[in-house]
Structure formats: C-alpha cells, structure tokens
Chain A
Amino acid sequence: SQKIEQNSEALNIQEGKTATLTCNYTNYSPAYLQWYRQDPGRGPVFLLLIRENEKEKRKERLKVTFDTTLKQSLFHITASQPADSATYLCALVKTGTASKLTFGTGTRLQVTL
C-alpha cells in the first residue's frame, strides 16, 4: 500500500541549530513534493515545492532535497528560531493526478532558547 512517513516523534532542538526533518514514501511515483507548516488549529501554509527532476531547492533559511531513488525528502531549517516551532507536513502529488495533495502525518518541531 502507499505510504508517506514522517517522524511522528517531536523534534526538539536548540535555537541557532539546523533542524532536519524527514519524509519517506513507498509505492508512490510523485511528480513533485511540497512542504507545509501547520500551527495548532490553523490551516497548512505552503513553504516549498520540489519537482521529481530537482535535487535541491532553497528559500531563505529553508532547504529541501528530493531523492527519488531513496524515496525520501529532507527538509532543513538553518539558524532555527523559537518562531519556527510548528508541525511540518510533507505532501506528495502523484504523476497523473493534477492537484490532489496526499499529506504525511507531520513532524512537530520545538525550538528552545
């Protein structure tokens, strides 16, 4: 069966460090992968998109990698701040499905002083 797995355990890191979150998928052929941020009781907020033929994408302090051989994406936040504390969701769009986002369960990031 198709699965998108994110580390369900919360990730606790110190301010200033780099946070690395993982998204693994099985039995999927994603056309592209997106990362969203979700705060408690709020809707997801789009952060970054990476296509299947791209290895890496950056935006300010954020970096995403996409390895279709390993079936994995890594999401990095450098110089993390307490304001980065949230749940981060990985979402895939399959080849041939124009718009349906399939989300992982998300990883909660807690950045402490």
Chain B
Amino acid sequence: EPEVTQTPSHQVTQMGQEVILRCVPISNHLYFYWYRQILGQKVEFLVSFYNNEISEKSEIFDDQFSVERPDGSNFTLKIRSTKLEDSAMYFCASSTSVYEQYFGPGTRLTVT
C-alpha cells in the first residue's frame, strides 16, 4: 500500500540554524500539508499546498517557514532560523481531494 515517507526521522539542530524537512507524498496525490505536534499537545496545522502554491497557512507559519515542491516527488518544509519552541514532531500529509489525509511517520525536530 502506498504511503507518505519522511526524512530524517530525527533531526537535532542548534538554535538559529536552518533545517529542511523532507517528505515524499503518495504519488497520485494533489494536496500536500505540513502539521506539527509539540510533545503532549495536539496536532496543529501549518500549511497546505496545491497546484504549486500555498492554499492556506496558519498563524504559526510565519516568515521563518517556507515550503517547496522542488520536483515531481518531494515536498519540503524549511525553517530558516530555528528557535527552541520549534522543537516538535513534524508530520507531512497528502490527499487526492480535500477529504481524508494520509500522514507520514513524522520527523522529530529537536532544537538545542
């Protein structure tokens, strides 16, 4: 069964450094998303992407964040200058329509 994959599974970075989290969505999906989950808290929407542009973003998704689909398969989330409070599990998701979303296993980001 096709699935969303994410790399790396765990990323440790120092405050102020840039990180890029990578995702390979399911191949025939058209909608792509990033969510995050701080330990012990709820899953929070960051951004959705369709037709090569951002379709929605949350207040969390400020100028420090950007997304890109550099080729036909990858979908990336870049955090330009990480802060301690960016430490969280980041989930990529994809869907064929605006309905059910398929989530990847997540990247645990630790900012020290």
Structural contact, B100 and A93, CB atoms closer than 8 A:
no
- Nearest chain A residue, comparing its CB with the CB of B106: A43
Q: Are A106 and B48 in contact (CB under 8 A)?
A: no
Size category of the B interface is 20 to 34
The binding surface of chain B is classed by DSSP as strand
Measured CB to CB, the closest approach of chain B to A26, in angstroms, equals: 16
In whole angstroms, what is the CA distance A49 to B33 when docked? 18
B51 to chain A, nearest CB (A): 12
Judge whether B31 is part of the interface by a CB distance below 8 angstroms.
Answer: yes
A46 touches B100 (CB 8 A): yes
Contact string against A for B residues 21-60, beta-carbon threshold 8 Å, 1 for contact and 0 otherwise: 0000000000101010000011111001010000110100
B58 touches A89 (CB 8 A): no
Q: Distance (Å) between the CB of B28 and the closest chain A CB?
A: 16
Q: Contact residues of A with B, CB < 8 Å?
A: 32, 34, 38, 41-46, 49, 89, 91, 93, 97-106
